[in-house]
Amino acid sequence: MSISNNLVIGVDYGTDSARAILMDAETGKELALSVKEYPRWKKGMYCDPVNYQFRHHPLDYIEVLEYIINEVVKTVPVAKERVKALAIDVTCSTPVVVDKEGTPLALRNDFLDDPNGMFILWKDHTGIKDCEYINEFSKKWHTDYTRYSGGGGNYSAEHFWAKALHIFREDPKIKEIGHSFVDACDWLSNLIIGLKKPEDLKRNICTAGFKVLWNKEWGGYPPNEFFKELDPALDGIVDTFSEKVYTCVETIGNLSEEWAKKLGLTTEVKVAAGNIDAHAGGIGAGVKNKAIVQIIGTSTCDIIVGPKSDSNKLIPGISGQADDSIIPGMVGYEAGQSVYGDYYAWFKRVLMWPLREILAKVEYIDKETKDKVIQDVYDKMIPELARQAKLIPAKDSHIIATDWINGRRTPNVDYELKGTITGLTLSSTTPLLYKSIVEATAYGSRAIVEQFINNGIEIDEIIAVGGISQKSPYVMQILSDVLGKPIKVIATREACALGVAMCAAVTAGIYSKLEDAQEKMGMGISTIYYPNEQNHQHYNIEYEKYKRLEKVKELTQNP
């Protein structure tokens, strides 16, 4: 196989693992892929799901980075001298508190096992009450700095300042040492070029604009006066941020000697600004004007771009929007669901309970047999549920579920919402319950699409990527039926890593703009799902019932 001199690496940090993809930017061929799970996270360390606490230790990030990049470089012997650039994306917002030297506190001996000194994962909801306070305060301030991050008064507990405020309010020891906060994608990208001090970090426009309240309209970040009045705990944090922010295709530096050696590369390798994983996934899937990319995995992100003439078109209730984000030169928009595949995984865990808690403890079956039975049931459960659910006519779906089992991200963020399942009868079966859960996730997706369309954003094309789009035909067909539109599935399971590899290709000067990199390096369509019109008409009625269930919120909240 002929390999060009223009190779790039894209690194994608997901919730459970990270992956590196080595691409030939000229031919668009994937040369190598390496994936590694985070060792501490895999053990469930530093997490408390009951209290919505999910943390990543910085060592997990460092160790997997060295492993996966060395793996892909070793796979292709000429890579060391031919890799021109690399780029990194991370789930977002995933900030960490750092000291004056820029060291995450969990890397210091005095905070080594303190979850508050670790990266606060995107799905960590410990800052819900702190976020509510931010929204209440922002409405009273003379400038609503949240207007582009959730549509005003809808700043999310998953975003940067809610997490920073929560950590500083909760932990005085952390506050005493903490000098600043930095999101994971910025920390990693700057780490490998040798920049550590918060004031020196080159932060990216996507994280800044979507999660950290940066906007050109007010000259960058809100002033320290705003944060100091919001809560003295935040006094001075914003002053540790440099004024300039960088687009996803801009170079922030070259690999340092230390990290070039660790990664098996050279100091000639350029490093692009960090990026949000969902934005990278949108790029990798071919996002463009009037096309929405749905990244469907444990949760979802919905990515759209539009012309800058739409800059003043504020879309209420979404995760955010920012100029020059996602595709530089355009307006980027983001929305998403707090759960998708996680909902199916929850249902699976519920059904597995008797096997793991009863069968596993019986004494008249040997351990090897029990383990095999439990594993077989676990592996075959969802495929079999999907097979049987597919046989149930849409008109017989008398159960209506909601997808708010982990709160609602968009439209109109509300993490106090709880999931519900209604319409149960004595004839309700397990496959029918599964069908209602799949329909619920599709209804949540439709609510997002309608939010964009009802606020003037044209959508002519729906593109899907992510694990579920690749391996769950039943789920995708239900989604198409509920939306009433065809869905094109892109032939890659690594859209995020591919997207940042495209960014790296522009950073290296191999392509002059991101759209060119998308055209040359993009993957084709693997499948198109077309809606069944009769099912769609049925789901139009059921969807209205789904929307009305929000009104029972007060019945599902904790006392």
pLDDT single digits (tens) 451-463 = 999 999 999 999 9
**Considering the domain boundaries, does residue 506 fall inside one?**
no
* Mean per-residue pLDDT, 374-381: 97
Band of residue 465 on the pLDDT scale cut at 50, 70, 90: very high
* Neighbouring-strand partners of residue 48: 53
Band of residue 427 on the pLDDT scale cut at 50, 70, 90: very high
Structure tokens at 480: 């198409």
Q: What is the pLDDT of residue 530?
A: 98
* Mean per-residue pLDDT, 56-61: 98
Residue 150 half-sphere exposure toward CB, CA atoms < 13 A: 27
Band of residue 415 on the pLDDT scale cut at 50, 70, 90: confident
**Considering the domain boundaries, does residue 382 fall inside one?**
yes
Rounded CA-CA distance 408/385 in Å is 26
Q: What is the pLDDT of residue 152?
A: 60
- Among the listed ranges 7-16, 153-162, 445-454, 476-485, which one has the minimum average pLDDT value? 153-162
How many structural domains compose the chain?
1
Rounded CA-CA distance 160/137 in Å is 16
* Mean per-residue pLDDT, 52-62: 97
Angle between helices 495-507 and 277-285 (to 10 degrees): 80
- From its phi and psi, is residue 207 left (phi > 0), alpha (psi between -120 and 50) or beta? alpha
pLDDT single digits (tens) 115-156 = 999 999 999 999 999 999 999 999 999 999 999 987 666 899
CATH number at residue 420: 3.30.420.40
Q: What is the pLDDT of residue 559?
A: 45
* Mean per-residue pLDDT, 463-481: 96
Band of residue 268 on the pLDDT scale cut at 50, 70, 90: very high
| Residue among 408, 429, 409, 449 nearest 531 (CA) | 449
Structure tokens at 334: 């983001």
* Mean per-residue pLDDT, 315-340: 95
**Considering the domain boundaries, does residue 405 fall inside one?**
yes
Q: What is the pLDDT of residue 312?
A: 75
Residue carrying structure tokens 């047999």: 369
pLDDT at 57 over 50: yes
**Considering the domain boundaries, does residue 187 fall inside one?**
no
Q: What is the pLDDT of residue 81?
A: 97
Residue 25 · residue 525 · CB < 8 Å? no
Q: What is the pLDDT of residue 550?
A: 84
* DSSP three-state, residue 361: helix
Q: What is the pLDDT of residue 394?
A: 85
Band of residue 556 on the pLDDT scale cut at 50, 70, 90: low
Query: Average per-residue pLDDT in the chain?
Result: 95
**Considering the domain boundaries, does residue 434 fall inside one?**
yes
Rounded CA-CA distance 112/458 in Å is 49
**Considering the domain boundaries, does residue 392 fall inside one?**
yes
Sign of CA dihedral 327, 328, 333, 337: positive
Angle at 43 between CA 40 and CA 48, to 5 degrees: 95
* Mean per-residue pLDDT, 265-285: 97
pLDDT single digits (tens) 280-311 = 999 999 999 999 999 998 899 999 999 998 77
- Among the listed ranges 174-183, 506-515, 543-552, which one has the minimum average pLDDT value? 543-552
Q: What is the pLDDT of residue 396?
A: 86
Structure tokens at 90: 């991370």
Q: What is the pLDDT of residue 150?
A: 73
Structure tokens at 496: 């995020």
Structure tokens at 70: 């060395």
The whole domain housing 378 covers 341-445+541-555
Q: What is the pLDDT of residue 153?
A: 66
- Among the listed ranges 249-263, 302-316, 425-439, 449-463, which one has the minimum average pLDDT value? 302-316
**Considering the domain boundaries, does residue 492 fall inside one?**
no
User: Rounded to whole angstroms, what are the CA distances from 454 to 76, 237, 409, 411, 448?
Assistant: 49, 37, 18, 12, 10
* Mean per-residue pLDDT, 374-403: 95
**Considering the domain boundaries, does residue 118 fall inside one?**
no
* Mean per-residue pLDDT, 523-529: 96
Q: Under 8 Å CB-to-CB from 290, ≥6 apart: which residues? A: 306, 458, 459, 460, 461
Instruction: Give yes or no for a cis peptide into 411 (omega within 30° of 0).
Output: yes
